[in-house]
Structure 1
Amino acid sequence: MADGLTIGQAAEFVGVTIKTVRHYHRLGLLAEPARDASGYRRYGSADLLRLVQARTLAGAGVPLAEVGELLDSDPEQFTAALDDVHHRLTEQIEDLTARRDTLHRLAHGDRALLPDRACAVLDQLAALDFSPDYVATQREALVLTRALVPEVLDTFLTRLEHGLDDPEFVELTKRGLDARSWAPGDPRIDELATAFADRLLADGALPTLPTATRNRPSTATRYGLVNHHREDQEPSIARLNTLVEAHLRAAGIDIPHR
């Protein structure tokens, strides 16, 4: 019997394919044994040990480009290199977990685009019998806020939460929704705008823009896209919002001009 194993036997004993063994040879992870008199390469115990080590490191997530250096390092270098691989694998796991959570959120509607706190506000709007169309509009506004002016999302949610816990504000908001069927010049819109502004000022929960946000050249555009979302479809609501903003600016609230 020939001394040593054929490549097929070596691969079988270690639990890899012949193609893998040859790939390790090409990468320099495993030296090619000398050929015997019959022209076959014969693998000894040292070759199999190296092959097992390379397979184990690769299976643990160590990039093949780094396996050879690891196998040839001293114990201290080996430990440090494994710590680095462990750190990178942890980051990859966290990234994959985040991706998995995103997929889970995609299967649950709003939770793909909004934090749980925002979803709770939308659920509360529905529970208070606001129309599905209004809830959808608020959902879109929250998504836009998170994307365009994320630094004010928390204060915006605080204002919504505070308002939804106030029956008078809820009733005032529903009256404002009735204005969608009014003509833009209807004098009731002026009365509603004054009532809204007074209520907002009394609540003291108006979102304020951070200094960095106020100084950003695109702030007014970003703000307009969020706060005036869908107004092109509802001229009376556009006028109502414009009047409310005017009242708030007159009271010293910093609201960007479109």
Structure 2
Amino acid sequence: MANGLTIGQAAAFVGVTIKTVRHYHRLGLVAEPERDGSGYRRYGSADLLRLVQARTLAAAGVPLAEVGDLLDADPERFAASLDDVHRRLTAQVEDLIARRDTLHRLAQGDRALLPDRACAVLDRLAGLGFGPDYVATQREALVLARALVPEIFDTFLTRLEHSLDDPEFVELTKRGLDAASWNPDDPRIEELASALADRLLADRTLLETPTPSQNRPDASARYGLVNHHGEGQAPSIARLNTLIETNLRAAGIDIPHQ
């Protein structure tokens, strides 16, 4: 022991592998000790101290490229460098937490693509008795709205939240779902469209579209992809939505034409 430790012994004492010790040597973090008469490098207490310091900093998240400078820094620069490392590690931790939360939400399908407020609206729909197919369609519409017209997404959510607070609108909407089985020429569709438009017009401020969205050259196409999503398989629902839009335009609401 008086002549020092072999690289294997030093690695075992410090708690790293021989490969790690050699890597530290290559990076210049720890100087290679002199060889003894037998040709072996012998590690003394100073070498072990340097190995322990390098291993500790690396384990704490300090990039190996910065470990050497830290080991040779004065106390003031050492403290400042550790503060910088701490900030970077905190940012990494926050990023990892966000990724973990996204993975958790991913287990719930498209909810990974929506903020909590939108998910709460979907939960309310289910709680109000709307079926899973309708909730799924609304989820898809929200995903499309957030991607295609992000500038009106919050307004869109506010309109939905307000509508769900209106028991009459909720019942009319459920009746609209029943209309999927009606003939597109059924006169009840016109009556239902008029009633739904009246409920929407009860608070006209919720129907206002932000100017940036209106000025898009493709505003009509974006609007159609969101507001007419899911109606392709039900001609009566398509007619119902078209009649609602016609009634809103007649009342002075700027609804893009398809």
The answer to whether TM tops 0.5 is yes
User: 1:118: which partner in 2?
Assistant: 118
Root-mean-square deviation over aligned CA pairs: 2.1
Asked if the contact 2:152–2:213 (Cα under 8 Å) also holds between the matched residues in 1, the reply is no
Structure 1 CA distance for aligned equivalents of residues 210 and 40 of structure 2: 74
- TM alignment of 1:1-258, pairs within 5 A: 3-108=3-108, 111-204=111-204, 206-258=206-258
Opposite residue 58 of structure 2, the aligned amino acid is A
- Kept in 1: contact 2:28–2:68 (CA 8 A): yes
Distance 1:5 1:246, change over 3 A: same
**Could you say what secondary structure the match of 2:129 adopts?**
coil
- Structure 1: distance between partners of 2:164 and 2:244: 19
TM-fit CA distance, 1:108:
4.4
Deviations 1:72-112 (A, max 9, x none): 22322222221111111001100111111122223345643
Runs of 4+ in structure 1 displaced over 6 angstroms? none
Give SS of 1:139's match.
helix
* Partner deviation per Cα, 1:224-249 (whole Å, 9 max, x = no partner): 21111012111221122122122223
Q: Distance in 2 between matches of 1:110 and 1:250?
A: 36
Rounded to whole Å, the distance in 1 between the matches of 2:7 and 2:122 is 64
Deviation of 1:162 (Å): 1.9
Write the distance in 2 (CA, Å) between the matches of 1:182 and 1:148: 31
Q: Which moved more, 1:43-52 or 1:188-197?
A: 188-197
Closer, same or farther: CA 139–205 of 1 in aligned 2, 3 Å: farther
Alpha carbons 1:176, 1:192 under 8 Å: kept: yes
Q: CA deviation at 1:4?
A: 1.9
Distance across 1 between alignment mates of 2:96 and 2:17: 28
User: How many residue pairs end up in the alignment?
Assistant: 258
* TM-score normalised by the chain length of structure 1: 0.90
Moved more, 173-182 or 79-88: 173-182
| Contact map agreement 2:7 2:42 (CA 8 A) in 1 | yes
Q: Measure how far apart 1:159 and its partner are.
A: 1.9
CA distance in 2, matches of 1:211, 1:6: 75
In 2, distance between residues paired with 1:257 and 1:33?
80
Identity of aligned residues (%): 81
Give structure 1 stretches of 5+ with no counterpart. Answer: none
Structure 1 contact 58–64 (Cα < 8 Å) conserved: yes
**8 Å contact 1:179–1:237 — kept in the other structure?**
yes
Letter in 1 for 2:222: R
For 2:76, give the aligned amino acid.
E
* Structure 2 counterpart of 1:88, one-letter code: R
- CA deviation string 1:21-65 (max 9, x = no partner): 001111111111111111011112221121111111100001111
Aligned partners of 2:134, 2:120: CA distance in 1, in Å? Answer: 15
Greater Cα shift, 220-229 or 72-81: 72-81
Secondary structure at 2:39 match in 1: coil
**Post-superposition offset of 1:222:** 2.4
Q: CA separation in 1, counterparts of 2:87 and 2:125?
A: 44
Q: Tell me, what secondary structure is at the counterpart of 1:217?
A: coil
C-alpha change, 1:22 and 1:240, in structure 2 (3 Å) is same
The runs of 5 or more residues in structure 2 that have no matched partner are none
Partner Cα distance (1:71, 1:216) in 2:
57
Displacement after TM superposition at 1:169 (Å)? 1.2
8 Å contact kept, 2:121–2:161: yes
SS of the residue aligned with 1:233? coil
Distance 2:27 2:217 in 1: 53
Amino acid at match of 2:39: G
